[in-house]
Amino acid sequence: MFFWQKTKKNAPQPRGLDDLNPSLEINLHWLKADILASDETIVYRRFKTSGAKARDCVLVYADNMVKHEFLSQFVLRPMMQSSPPKHLRGEELIRYLSANVIESDGSELVARYGEIGDKIMNGVAVLLVDGCPLGIAVDAKGWPKRAVTEPPSESVVRGPRTGFSEDLGVNISLVRLKLSSPNFKTRFLYVGTQTKTKVAILYLDNVTSLDLVEEVARRIDAIEIDAVLDSGYIQEMIRDAPYSPFPTIGHTERPDVAAAKILEGRVAVLVDGSPFALTVPYLLVEAFQVNEDYYNQWMVGSFHRLIRYISYFITTSTPAIYIALISYHPQLIPTNLVVSISASRKNVPFPGIVEVILMGLVFEILREGGVRLPRPIGQAISIVGAIVLGEAAVSASLVSAPMIIVVGVTGVAGFVNPALNDIAVLIRLLFVFLAAGLGLYGYVFGTIAIVLLLSSMESFGVPYLSTMTTIRPQDIKDTVVRVPWWQMRLRPRYLATKDRQRLQRRTGSKGP
């Protein structure tokens, strides 16, 4: 079904599993020499407790990964002012310090070198006390964070403005804010032999089938990779149908979208460091659904959704149909149009197929060139593209005028569905080649192939075309159109296995 790379387990670190030594100096030595060797951002802050029997302590942390004020105020100051009873030593002392002195909400005891290393790398400060074979890990995480802003890739006119950031904890809390119910569950997993990235699985206990949750956890657990820098890694590692160009896992930057998907019975996966939440299972219809459909009035929402389907048809099929018509079936073009197309192509040296591919290529180059450029330069590129290449190429009889329209319409319509736009290019190319070989029938054979491919795909056990392959009224209420909320009384059958009731009664509206 899916595949992952098998890498050999790294050999265990030499000191990582060893217990701490009672001697502070030995511990510091091993930390400096082995576990945290050659890392000059690590701060070792030596100090003593007060009282008759002052004890040597060291606070170890990574610079800029912690809240320095917090450490000074709630760890260093109380420690320096404290005078632990003389008879306490070893573990008892540590427990006393942890219970009575340190004024931090998050602290735990650590016993191994390796643990200390991991903690420090994650922004936790570790307090070591001479004579104790344990350390206290104080949670003082505080690294630079991005504010919660509106995601640029999914901006809305109407709807919440919050977007995920790179911080897992913040992201989870953003979703939890939407779903503040005890049924909302999270489960943590760690992926990446090097990075040990924290991955969270989010779901609603009373809606989602537990089999699905287990399957997601199983697939994530099976990943053995050195690093996970973005949720994209996981997305590709756990997906179904890896050879199909269509996405089988959804991603979103918006907590409201993630919450809505979870409410329908899906599972969301958040990865630390990535502002993109993954949602599974992912169906084809989701590519055509946008959160604003649900926030706007339902007729408006339905219309926009219809536009999206039509645009996708246009962006994948226009060049192929154009080629088929002008090269195989001129009899199907209205007479006036056929005469003018014929006239406009009189001095063009290339056959239609070459024109389509050339212009398509130019369009893709312009797009790719514009994507990562700063906005002002991007605009310059589009002007060059539109005026120089369009206008001039037609005047120079390099391409025909209708072709400019075809390429333009195709390109613009592609932007309507960003989720499927990259695949649209591939489908378009397939269709163009088939249409160039067999005309409209080639195009139809291509369509048959694509629909077959889509029909055969599944995402986490759910057929990829689920809502499109049914004629049950309840299941098609949220597909090509969106019916009003008061009509969508049940959750989708193919996802939510437990509690399908969405509306409790006929509430909230004077529905017909």
Partner 1 sequence: MREHVPDDQGMILVLLFVVGNTLVFGLGGVAGPDIWLAFLTATVMALPMILLMARVRSLMQGAALYSGLEQVFGKWPSRGLALVYALYAWRLSCFVVSDVSNFVQAIALPNTPKVVVASILALLMLWAAKEGVEVLARFAVVMSKVVFAVLLVTFILLLSVANPAEFLPVMYDGAKPVFLGAFQLLDFPFLEVVVLFWVFDCFSSKRSPFKVFVPGFLSAALILLVMTSTSLAVVGADRYSVFYFPIWTAVSRINVSTMRLEAIVGVTFAIGSFLKMAVCLLAASRCVTYAFGFSDYRFVVTPLALAVIPGSQWLITTLMEVEKSAIKTYPTSATIYQVVLPVVFWVVAEIRVAKARHQGKGG
Partner 2 sequence: MRRGFPRLLSLLLVTALLTGCWDHIEIEALEFAFGLGVDQVEPDYVVVVEMVKTSGGGQQAEVEPLVLATKGKSVSAAGRSLSNPAGLRAFWPHAYVFLMSEQVAREGIVPAVENIVRSRYIRSTVWVFITKDCTAEEVFKSKPPAANSVSEHLNAIALMQETISGFIPLQVWQLSQAFAAEGIAAILPTVKLVHEQGDLVPIVEGTAVFKGDRMVGWLDGHESDILCLLKGIIQRCYFVIDTKVGENEFFPITYELVGNRVEIKPQDKDGKLSVSIALDLHFSVEEMGRAPYSFRDEAFARSVQAQLATAFTHWIREFLSKTQQEYNADILGFGQLVRRKEPQVWRRLGENWDVHFRDLPVDLEVKCKVTMAGLSSEPLRVRE
Residues interacting with partner 2, by CB under 8 A? 240-245, 326-328, 330-331, 335, 338-348, 351-352, 394-395, 397, 400-401, 430, 433-434, 436-439, 442, 445-446, 449-450, 453, 456-458
Shortest distance (Å) from residue 311 CB to partner 1:
17
| Neighbour tally for 281: CB within 10 Å | 26
- Residue 400 near residue 355 (C-beta atoms within 8 A): yes
Q: Report the distance separating Cα 140 and Cα 127, nearest Å.
A: 12
Q: Say which entry of partner 2, partner 1, none residue 80 contacts (CB below 5 to 8 A, set by partner kind).
A: none
Q: Report the distance separating Cα 28 and Cα 113, nearest Å.
A: 10
* H or E element that contains 25: helix 24-30
Rank residues 155 and 456 by Cβ distance to partner 2 and give the closer one. Answer: 456
**Residue 128: strand pairing partners:** 58, 135
Q: Which of 156, 440, 481, 483 binds partner 1 (CB under 8 A)?
A: 440
Rank residues 200 and 341 by Cβ distance to partner 2 and give the closer one. Answer: 341
Q: Say which entry of partner 2, partner 1, none residue 133 contacts (CB below 5 to 8 A, set by partner kind).
A: none
Tell me the per-residue interface mask from 314 to 333 with partner 1, x by CB under 8 A, - otherwise.
Answer: --------------xx-xxx
Q: Which of 449, 481, 483, 503 binds partner 1 (CB under 8 A)?
A: 449
> Nearest CA to 462 among 250, 228, 240?
240
Shortest distance (Å) from residue 91 CB to partner 1:
59
Q: How many residues belong to the site for partner 1 (CB under 8 A)? A: 28
- Asked if 281 touches partner 1 (CB under 8 A), the answer is no
Helix (H, G, I), strand (E, B) or coil at 196: coil
Rank residues 408 and 437 by Cβ distance to partner 2 and give the closer one. Answer: 437
Q: Which of 12, 152, 182, 334 binds partner 1 (CB under 8 A)?
A: 334
> Nearest CA to 279 among 270, 289, 265, 267?
267
Q: Report the distance separating Cα 312 and Cα 492, nearest Å.
A: 24
Shortest distance (Å) from residue 422 CB to partner 1:
22
- Asked if 335 touches partner 1 (CB under 8 A), the answer is yes
Between strands 184-191 and 197-204, the pairing is antiparallel
- Asked if 468 touches partner 1 (CB under 8 A), the answer is yes
HSE of 158, CA atoms in CB hemisphere, 13 A? 9
Contacts of 500 (CB under 8 A, 6+ apart): 490, 491, 493
Shortest distance (Å) from residue 466 CB to partner 2:
15
> Nearest CA to 59 among 67, 87, 91?
67
> Nearest CA to 55 among 92, 30, 20, 3?
92
Q: Report the distance separating Cα 264 and Cα 267, nearest Å.
A: 9
Shortest distance (Å) from residue 468 CB to partner 1:
5
Tokens for 481?
């159109």
Q: Report the distance separating Cα 325 and Cα 329, nearest Å.
A: 5
Rank residues 210 and 332 by Cβ distance to partner 1 and give the closer one. Answer: 332
- Asked if 465 touches partner 1 (CB under 8 A), the answer is yes
Rank residues 65 and 325 by Cβ distance to partner 1 and give the closer one. Answer: 325
Rank residues 21 and 327 by Cβ distance to partner 2 and give the closer one. Answer: 327
Rank residues 438 and 503 by Cβ distance to partner 2 and give the closer one. Answer: 438
Q: Say which entry of partner 1, partner 2, none residue 512 contacts (CB below 5 to 8 A, set by partner kind).
A: none
Q: Report the distance separating Cα 207 and Cα 277, nearest Å.
A: 19
Q: Report the distance separating Cα 163 and Cα 208, nearest Å.
A: 24
Please list every residue from 135 through 164 that binds partner 1, using CB under 8 A.
none
Rank residues 291 and 317 by Cβ distance to partner 1 and give the closer one. Answer: 317
Q: Report the distance separating Cα 256 and Cα 263, nearest Å.
A: 10
Rank residues 336 and 504 by Cβ distance to partner 1 and give the closer one. Answer: 336
Residues forming contacts to partner 1 in the complex (CB under 8 A) are: 328-329, 331-336, 438-441, 444-445, 448-449, 451-452, 454-456, 463, 465, 468-472
